[in-house]
Amino acid sequence: MNLEDDELNAMLTAVRKFADSELAPFAQERDEKKLFPTDVLARAGELGLGGIYIKDEYGGADLPRAVAVRLIAELARGDVALAAYISIHNMAVWMIDSYATDEVRAEWVPELASMDKLASYCLTEPDAGSDAASIRTTARRDGEAYVLDGVKQFISGAGTSHAYVVMARTGQPGARGISAFLVPAETPGLSFGPNERKMGWNAQPTRQVVLDGVRIPLALRLGEEGEGFTIAMRGLNGGRLNIAACSLGGASWAVDRAKAHLNERIAFGKPLSSQQALQFRLADMETSLEASRCLLQRAASALDAGTPDAVQLCAMAKQFVTDQCFDAANAALQMHGGYGYLAEYGVERVVRDLRVHQILEGTNEIMRLIVGRAALGGAA
């Protein structure tokens, strides 16, 4: 969908108002009490945020990735953890909409796009993180069904979501033996571990997903057998942009708080903002945010256009933006002095929430590996 400037500005304004009214005022309480507000997510769905870049056939907004990252960044200014869950939900729904049969799409995508139902993405396992092609979860063909067995680790929304996009091994070792499946939450044999105790992202649940003889019909396979790893990686290209957008939104909020504090706080008889050392540090922070914004838009536009360097650019953006924005948010905390360490100011929560962005959707070390190999012409 091509948007006129007025349409885009209206959309960004609506999302900003939603973040200001529904997310930001309650972010601290949700973090402290580990509240996952599914009612608020449903209201986000009313704005089209449950299927941002999903085709409009079944209720998606069908927006380009270059717009999606701007919307997600606005959400993250209100609550990084919930914006991150919405970004993961969108990635999972995109996989279902792109690779499921028309019958399955018609059944599942409308309620997922509206966020009346929620989705989770299940790739990582206890012994398979960065080496995703080594997953051990299996999907055994049994007549007109598959039987899934295994454990998935660090799954956002687990225990609350209605649909689980699961990568499982159907064939040979390595990437070519992996297939993708849609597993409904009510399927017998599907269970969940306890909610993990985490440094951040407390406003969304993170649990193991346990599959013990989970039997699903053949129709719930996404794509062809052996296509699962490709589907996972295609989904993660967008997922990496989404999580980078979350970092940009959260860091932008923290830096804005720091600027206000520097202007208000008096030390040695004058505002902190008059201190040249702090001005220089703030200049670096602003430069990092603007560079992050530009690279993120460049990568999103490449993914929209399907350019040959899109995968490399998505990896660049994920690594650069999440690193730079964590550093900027951490510097914003430092500028607050002791107040930055207090929960009521909110900056320490943003710093805790942003830290995991350098790990998930492919660690930043793996992102450097992708970029380095591409720079060397695909060298191993």
pLDDT, one tens digit per residue, over 122-173 is 999 999 988 989 999 999 999 999 999 999 999 999 999 999 999 999 999 9
Q: Which residues contact 225 (CB under 8 A, 6 or more apart)?
A: 170, 171, 179
Kindly state the average pLDDT of the residues 177-204. 98
pLDDT interval class at 5 (50, 70, 90): confident
Distance of alpha carbon 37 from alpha carbon 9, whole angstroms: 27
CB-based burial of residue 151 (10 Å sphere; 0-12 exposed, 13-18 middle, 19+ buried)?
middle
Summarised one tens digit per residue, pLDDT across range 52-89 is 999 999 999 999 999 999 999 999 999 999 999 999 99
Signed CA dihedral, 264, 267, 269, 271: sign only? negative
What is the residue-averaged pLDDT of the chain? 97
Residues with catalytic annotation?
361
Q: Model pTM?
A: 0.96
Find out whether 354 and 326 touch, Cβ atoms under 8 Å: yes
Distance of alpha carbon 162 from alpha carbon 160, whole angstroms: 7
Q: Residue 141, Cβ neighbours under 10 Å: how many?
A: 13
Find out whether 71 and 118 touch, Cβ atoms under 8 Å: no
Signed CA dihedral, 147, 149, 154, 159: sign only? positive
Kindly state the average pLDDT of the residues 360-369. 96
